[in-house]
Chain A
Amino acid sequence: MMSSLTATERSRAFMITMTVLLGGLVMAAVGHGDPIGMQGWVVILFTAVVGVVLLKSFDAPDPVEDRSASYYDDPTRVGIIIALIWAVIGMGVGLWVASMLAWPNLRFDAAWSSFGRVRPVHTSGVIFGFGGNALIATSFHIMQRTSRARMPNQVLPWFVLIGFNLFCVIAASGYLMGITQSKEYAEPEWYADLWLVVVWVAYFILYMRTLARRNEPHIYVANWYYLAFILVVAVLHIVNNLAIPASLTGAKSYSAFAGVQDAMTQWWYGHNAVAFFLTSGFLGMLYYFLPKRAGRPIYSYRLSILSFWGIVFFYIWAGSHHLHYTALPHWVQTLGMTFSVMLLVPSWASAGNALMTLNGAWHKVRDDATLRFMMVAAVFYGLSTFEGSFMAIRPVNGLSHYTDWTVGHVHAGAMGWVALISFGSIYALTPVLWRREAMYSWKAVELHFWLALSGTVIYVFAMWNSGIIQGLMWRTYGETGTLKYSFLESMIAMHPYYVARALGGLLFLAGACVGLWNVLMTVRHMPRHAPERDYPTSSEATEPAVPAAE
């Protein structure tokens, strides 16, 4: 794999790795005695592994292939595998924390294994580890295919992919050490945030340079969704993580904003992360892989462009609905509520567009589990955006907020939409990337589909029930005007649902494991496959391809 780099590229990659390793050394040295020192060792270990992989084929001969005649797919391949590994890790940890809630003994009483430390490993693991790597890998694929051009550089994509995973590893290991800035989905501390900015700028440059080299004049709509994802996430990340380190030799930092201002920034970031990380990028995936797999163009291309601009403009101000009934001024809450409700229009336009694309190809959906993954993802996208708009209405939020309903909503989106569209895309992509005839086992894909769907449904229904029961119990008053139920009573009422949730998570995790196995087996054991040509070769060119019309 590394042998497809030229010697210059290999040495450049090695230089970069060593520079980062040096940075890790500095962290380890100056941060001795502080968690940042431990994080330095994590960096050293990670870069050392990368360095060893590089060195193993450092003296291999230069590649002779004609680079202009093929796409650069190695980073995509590695990204897909990494994404699936993160899926298993993230979902496994998720299963653990879910079980911990049902059976508290699974807490094991260690500091690192406390719920507060393990839960962000789950959220970051699935969102950034699985989702982020899937986004990066598919974007590498889509930007090259739709531009009909190869990436401009061979080191930059590796830098983006490996650099992003370094961020994920720093983040996850940091959580277990107790390092967090206590912002949901933005827990990593300042040094990790700075590193992510560097990686993200490189990602943006790579994307723009590929588009600039494109041999197809039109920029396909999926690229717009990916670009919005990259650009807006960069801005959000920078603004929300504006913080002043307590000391340059320590991990701890203090946010630049205080109190409710900080909360507002956090949810401006948090909800836009949902919009631009978990929606925009995955819609890009949907708009490419769904038509490809179904073999028919998107139902309304015009609508896909319109809903792009709709989502870009409506999402930005929806975030304050996370802060209903808080110290946030009432009008800011109302603002968030209004925009959340309006957001339903472009969201449903996208979901409807996806489903209408399949209208007339239902037999393919019936037969092809990969396409079914995408179809169900679009359905869940429509469902969870409707639910989101509904829950953003202040009185509804009064019932749902701080209950498991919120957890159920997030997972309807994360499992039903994000994960299913990613799995569908990965199944569509794997045979193309490794030039295999098909997946190793279509039965395994089918099994994965049903595991994932049943897991999601069990999970979401359990959380809907427990959330509403919880919300109602919390607001039930006795005749004397006191609360009727104690908190513990509501916890006991939750127990069967928490068990059901763990079961749903287990099924979903099992599906992900089957998926990883299937992809690895496809890579190893499926015969190579020469791509079919749908255009006349030179010998056919002179023959009539279309019967003469009258």
Chain B
Amino acid sequence: MTLVDGDAAEQLMSPLQQGAARRSLRTARDGGAICLLSVPDIRCGGCVSKIERALNARDDVASARVNLSLKRVQITPSGSRADPALFIAALDRLGFAASAADDATATPDPTGNGLLRATAVAGFGAMNIMLLSVAVWSGALGTTRDAFHLLSAMIAVPVVLYAGQPFFSSAWSALRVRRVNMDVPITLAVLLATVLSLAELLQGGEQLFFDAAVTLLFFLLGGRYLDQMMRERASSAINGLARLAPSGAMVRRPDGALAYVELEEVKPGDRLVVSAGEYVPVDAQVSEGSTDLDRSLITGEPLPVLASPGDMIEAGTLNLTGSVEAVALRPAAESFLAQMIRMQSEAERNRGTYERIANRAARLYAPVVHLMALLTFLSWLWTTDGDWQQALFVAISVLIITCPCALGLAVPVAHVVAAGRLMRMGVLMKDGAGIERLANIDAAVFDKTGTLTTGRPRLEPVIADVADLSAARGLAIRSSHPAAKAIAADLVAEPAAVVEQVQEVPGYGIEGRIDGRRARLGRGDWVAEIAGEPASSPTDPAFAFAGGAPIGFEVTETLRDGVHDTFDAFSRGGLDLVILSGDSRERVMHLSHDLVLTDICAGMKPADKVSYLENMRHEGRRPLMVGDGLNDAGALAAAHVSMAPSSASDAGRTAADFVFLRKGLDAVAATHRVACRTAAVVRQNFTLAICYNCIAIPLAVAGLVTPLIAALAMSASSILVIGNSLRLSASPEKLRHGTRRRRLKKAAT
């Protein structure tokens, strides 16, 4: 991002960007317009106050408000005609890159608020009923007790009916398809406890379970709300990452004028103009001009390819150097990008439904408990000679005490704590199922470009004349070609200040005049054309003054930090390690020569990657896929579990179960370690719950459980489970690359 003076910023924005900015406009509740912008660089209250002051001072802004958690700015424009591009330009002047906000984050999730409301109601009910219950337990007798019981009922019934809905509806929808999930025993316990207590109340009974029912709801709703919040936070963080896919296209009208057209409205035959730095909106054929295209997200090839008239360009490729005109071949819905997304959803379908641990536990647990309650009922009926009320009371106390509470919390609380922990490590977890699956992988499959490598090539040291190097760097900083960028970044020489007649020749390189001498930086044979001593064609890329000696540069891909650590950790853990790459075999081999690998597949097309993973899964393997490109989206979805770096394509980030914001690949191994520990904690939680049941069930069957014991036991077991889960965040993960964390922070800023 560059900073420019004043009004130039508006002019600097291309029509495409201005068009895209218009997507930030939303309809407000009162029918007016508001503008929602995503600004990922907002970090603190200082940024908030700076942005708000600057925007609110504008005449075309009625109000502007920053949401620091979502990193979003909401602007109410004054007047009917507002141009969001001006707001984006204003933010750019302040040093903040902004783009139109995603629809997904535009409104708060109503489910989360609903759960919070239910939790609040259950908490209110639990508090007040607990007050009345403590009074009864401590010895309130006679009419006082009856009055307190009546009051408890008056509070409990509406609270259960309102706050229990999330469980009731989930249990009902499971039962309708003849399945059992964790909500079935919960619903049964809550409803039976309430109904039994009501019946007891009518008979003036002493033992009421209203408190147990409502406390149970409160604890479980709390767990569920945390679970929901965790997912919301992860998804808003992922949505906050800059979008790569274009949202519209510049189309040249028959009269020669340029117009911004929404992506969905691009028709085959439209003449598109794609400038340097923009993504290709739909599959098209170049009709005019030539350029270098970065196809790494599509094919995995790290180095750009040349596109000239007649060449096909795919949607999602990045135009690096020149401006081209192209004729759209297919509408957006049929583009390469759309095909990839279809392939991804197909792979997701084929992945089959993964049954969460909690539901597997419920499948076992529910029949056992319900059968036990039935047996208790029958045996009490038999021993008490048909006192069905007594028998029913004992049976229901069995149902209540067997504590779906601890079981219901065993998984979500552990996952919430793990997610918080991962988030601190810079890894976003989309939902709990992912971490369960990650814990039991037996193979890890990696994409190469952008995943194992940083996507930014590195320049090997060169020895040459300082003047030449400085001239080379002077040319390099004027190009956006990745190799040129590497030279610009890594070459130790003062760049030549004055470069005239700069001309970028797509596919070849960049040419200019320095100190009156022609100079070229680019393909070896192209540079050799002007070089003085064409003894041998220098390597790619090369630099030479007209008539001078050419200098060859060696540009290599760089591995991400932590690749070796991750591979070591995985191979020590007995995992198979595979690289799937769309790039050529020799480049893959070159890069991975010192890595211990089970298999290397090069030249893979997206479909090959998907079928490779599907084969693995047919063999009963559970592979982890780590990839970033659009070409990996299908594979990410097809794998048992998947991770993507934050630099991945939109589709890749959508498909992956985890997105890591850290630069180093050691995030993968660290996440795996956290997942294994989480799985262990979940197992411990279940063991705790089962141990507890082993003590509680005999008591309940013997008819010894009073409401006081039930409430105490339930709270104690829940707190035990929560406490055990908190251990996950207590001992901080030792990051092998301690400094990297700081670097990550810097990188994030």
Contacts and interface: CB of A to CB of B under 8 A. Distances in A.
B350 interface: no
B138 interface: yes
Nearest to A546: B95
B53 A335 contact: no
Nearest to A316: B131
B3 A331 contact: no
A330 B134 CA distance: 12
Q: Classify chain A: how many residues form its interface, as a range.
A: 20 to 34
A535 interface: yes
A332 B131 contact: no
Interface string A322-340: 0000000111111100110
A205 B705 CA distance: 51
Nearest to A313: B127
B463 interface: no
Contact of A541 (B54, B124, B131, B138): B54
B19 to A, nearest CB: 25
B1 interface: yes
Contact of A536 (B2, B53, B124, B136): B53
Best-surrounded residue of B46, B50, B134, B749 (most CB of chain A within 10 A): B134
Interface string B1-23: 11101100000000000000000
A541 B9 CA distance: 14
A309 B120 CA distance: 10
B134 A549 contact: no
A334 B139 contact: yes
Given A331-B139, A534-B46, A535-B53, A548 B134 contact: no
A542 B134 contact: no
Contacts of A330: 138-139
A329 B148 CA distance: 15
A314 B131 CA distance: 9
Contact of A542 (B6, B123, B127): B6
A64 interface: no
Given A549-B1, A549-B749, A536 B50 contact: yes
Contacts, number: 66
Given A330-B138, A330-B139, A334-B138, A297 B127 contact: no
B139 A217 contact: no
A492 to B, nearest CB: 40
Contact of A548 (B2, B5, B137): B2
B53 A217 contact: no
Interface string B39-62: 001000110011001100100000
Nearest to B93: A542
Contact of B131 (A217, A317, A546, A549): A317
Contacts of B127: 313-314
B747 to A, nearest CB: 9
Interface in B29-83: 41, 45-46, 49-50, 53-54, 57, 65
Interface in A502-549: 534-536, 538, 541-542, 544-549
Contacts of A297: 45
Given A330-B138, A334-B134, A548 B3 contact: yes
A247 to B, nearest CB: 36
Contacts of B49: 534-535
Interface string B120-141: 0001100100010011111110
Contact of A329 (B3, B45, B65, B140): B140
B132 to A, nearest CB: 9
Nearest to A314: B127
Nearest to B140: A331
B94 interface: yes
Interface string B261-298: 00000000000000000000000000000000000000
A146 to B, nearest CB: 14
A498 B476 CA distance: 84
B65 A535 contact: no
Interface in A295-350: 297, 309, 313-314, 317, 329-335, 338-339
Given A329-B139, A331-B135, A536-B50, 9 more contacts: A330-B138, A338-B134, A535-B50, A541-B93, A544-B93, A546-B95, A548-B95, A549-B95, A549-B749
Interface of A: 217, 297, 309, 313-314, 317, 329-335, 338-339, 534-536, 538, 541-542, 544-549
Interface of B: 1-3, 5-6, 41, 45-46, 49-50, 53-54, 57, 65, 93-96, 123-124, 127, 131, 134-140, 749
6 contacts: A330-B138, A332-B138, A334-B139, A339-B131, A536-B53, A546-B95
4 tightest A-B CB contacts, nearest first:
A334-B138, A546-B95, A331-B138, A331-B139
